[in-house]
């Protein structure tokens, strides 16, 4: 009787069963999850901040919670003998990205940054680009009074003083802390569709959309264009991407083997 060899454990090469090294992915995005599933030949650890109570989990090992600043992250990189650090966090998660740059330098390992591209205005769009959430709040109520606020539950404080506006804030988890007086919360997690976004905006008689320039699905922007609604768009903090797609990043990793 012949026994077939056991399948290679995740993150190992078919030929040897031995991983080429260990990769730490700083995650919390769709792209990070896709990358963890697509990366072969490495042992993969994904790190999540722990902001949502039931996160969608990627393939491979997952750790949850902050590291304790750049120093804590450096310690983790050394302890777990990480060979490559990949920052695949959200374009607006500026603190962890800054920590990643410092920690990779301190540990002497390569840092790759995966950032999906920002959005591009199309004919029919009425976008008002602003540098931050405070400037987005300052654009109201001139831009509109019935506001679809999709900037995440942690940014509600910037809009808390706007008593003359009504807000529909969409977030995965219920918001905490200061928030506008006239506020309804829509608990929901993407992906969102054009039809769904049109329904939400029509049902709530939305007349302005506030969003970060997160990139990815354009459903809410397409809905705003269809309805002739202006968009107050918060620009990204500066940062340099190694790759803008999972495929591109996989190619860069090949060069590091
Ligand atoms: P942030 O301001 O850059 O990070 C704040 C702190 O949270 C960091 O200093 C770090 O704590 C911890 N942290 C963040 N990301 C982490 C990760 N992947 N693994 C372990 N610790 C992490 O980030 P944020 O804007 O609060 O976002 C938190 C997470 O949510 C990110 O992973 C991001 O990808 C995801 N996310 C953010 C947004 C957004 O709009 N900001 C939207 C969707 C998803 P220590 O200093 O203690 O290590």
* CA 56 to chain CA mean position, Å: 13
Q: CA–CA separation, 150 vs 114, rounded Å?
A: 22
Phi, psi torsion values for 23, nearest 5 degrees? -115, 135
Q: Is 143 touching ligand 1 by the criterion CB < 6 Å?
A: no
Residues ≥6 apart with Cβ < 8 Å to 237 = 91, 92, 94
- CATH number at 217 reads 3.40.50.720
Q: CA–CA separation, 62 vs 24, rounded Å?
A: 10
Q: Which residues pair with 26 in a beta bridge?
A: 47, 87
| Together in a domain, 66 and 112 | yes
Residue nearest to atom 28 of ligand 1 (CA): 49
Q: CA–CA separation, 229 vs 138, rounded Å?
A: 18
| Together in a domain, 84 and 132 | no
In a domain, 1, yes or no: no
In a domain, 108, yes or no: yes
In a domain, 11, yes or no: no
pLDDT at position 17, please?
62
Q: Is 168 touching ligand 1 by the criterion CB < 6 Å?
A: no
Q: Count CB neighbours of 239 within 10 A.
A: 15
Q: Structurally, how many domains does the chain consist of?
A: 2
Q: Is 74 touching ligand 1 by the criterion CB < 6 Å?
A: no
In a domain, 143, yes or no: yes
Q: Is 26 touching ligand 1 by the criterion CB < 6 Å?
A: yes
Contact status, residue 147 vs residue 167, Cβ threshold 8 Å: yes
pLDDT at position 8, please?
42
This prediction has a pTM of: 0.90
Q: Is 231 touching ligand 1 by the criterion CB < 6 Å?
A: no
In a domain, 4, yes or no: no
Q: CA–CA separation, 142 vs 117, rounded Å?
A: 29
In a domain, 17, yes or no: no
> What is the biggest distance separating any 2 CA atoms in the chain, rounded to whole angstroms?
79
| Together in a domain, 103 and 133 | no
Q: How far is the CA of 55 from the centre of ligand 1 (A)?
A: 13
In a domain, 60, yes or no: yes
| Together in a domain, 228 and 136 | yes
* CA 32 to chain CA mean position, Å: 9
| Together in a domain, 149 and 222 | yes
Q: Is 150 touching ligand 1 by the criterion CB < 6 Å?
A: no
> For ligand 1, what atom is nearest to the CA of residue 96?
3
| Together in a domain, 46 and 88 | yes
| Together in a domain, 79 and 168 | no
Q: How far is the CA of 43 from the centre of ligand 1 (A)?
A: 22
Q: Count CB neighbours of 244 within 10 A.
A: 16
Q: How far is the CA of 75 from the centre of ligand 1 (A)?
A: 18
Residue nearest to atom 16 of ligand 1 (CA): 49
Q: How far is the CA of 164 from the centre of ligand 1 (A)?
A: 32
Contact status, residue 47 vs residue 70, Cβ threshold 8 Å: no
| Together in a domain, 142 and 185 | yes
Domain span holding position 183: 127-234
Q: How far is the CA of 176 from the centre of ligand 1 (A)?
A: 17
pLDDT at position 155, please?
92
Q: Is 66 touching ligand 1 by the criterion CB < 6 Å?
A: yes
| Together in a domain, 99 and 186 | no
Q: CA–CA separation, 231 vs 217, rounded Å?
A: 15
* Dihedral of alpha carbons 175, 189, 32, 231, sign: negative
| Together in a domain, 226 and 134 | yes
In a domain, 245, yes or no: yes
Per-residue pLDDT of the chain (257 residues; tens, 9 = 90+): 333 334 444 444 445 567 889 999 999 999 999 999 999 999 999 999 999 888 999 999 999 999 999 999 999 999 999 999 999 999 999 999 999 999 999 999 999 999 999 999 999 999 999 999 999 999 999 999 999 999 999 899 999 999 999 999 999 999 999 999 999 999 999 999 999 999 999 999 999 999 999 999 999 999 999 999 999 999 998 888 999 999 999 999 999 88
| Together in a domain, 86 and 154 | no
Q: Is 28 touching ligand 1 by the criterion CB < 6 Å?
A: yes
| Together in a domain, 69 and 26 | yes
């Amino acid at each position: 009787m012949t026994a077939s060899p056991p399948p290679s454990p995740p993150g190992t090469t078919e030929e040897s069963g031995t991983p080429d090294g260990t990769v730490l992915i700083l995650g919390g995005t769709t792209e990070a999850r896709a990358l963890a599933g697509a990366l072969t030949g490495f042992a993969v650890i994904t790190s999540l901040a722990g902001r949502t109570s039931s996160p969608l989990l990627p393939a491979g090992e997952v750790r949850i919670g902050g590291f304790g600043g750049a120093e804590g992250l450096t310690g983790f990189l050394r302890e777990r003998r990480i060979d490559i650090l990949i920052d695949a966090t959200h374009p607006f998660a500026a603190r962890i990205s800054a920590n990643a740059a410092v920690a990779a330098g301190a540990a002497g390992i390569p840092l790759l940054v995966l950032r999906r591209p920002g959005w591009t205005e199309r004919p029919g769009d009425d976008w008002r680009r602003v540098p931050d959430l405070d400037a987005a709040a300052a654009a109201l109520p001139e831009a509109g009074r019935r506001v679809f606020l999709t900037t995440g539950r942690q940014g509600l404080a910037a809009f808390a003083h706007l008593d003359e506006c009504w807000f529909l804030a969409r977030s995965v988890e219920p918001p905490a802390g200061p928030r506008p007086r006239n506020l309804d919360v829509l608990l929901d997690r993407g992906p969102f569709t054009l039809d769904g976004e049109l329904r939400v905006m029509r049902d709530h008689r939305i007349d302005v959309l506030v969003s970060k320039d997160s990139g990815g699905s354009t459903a809410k922007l397409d809905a705003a264009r269809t309805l002739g609604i202006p968009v107050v768009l918060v620009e990204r903090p500066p940062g340099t991407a190694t790759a803008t797609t999972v495929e591109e990043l996989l190619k860069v990793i090949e060069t590091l083997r």
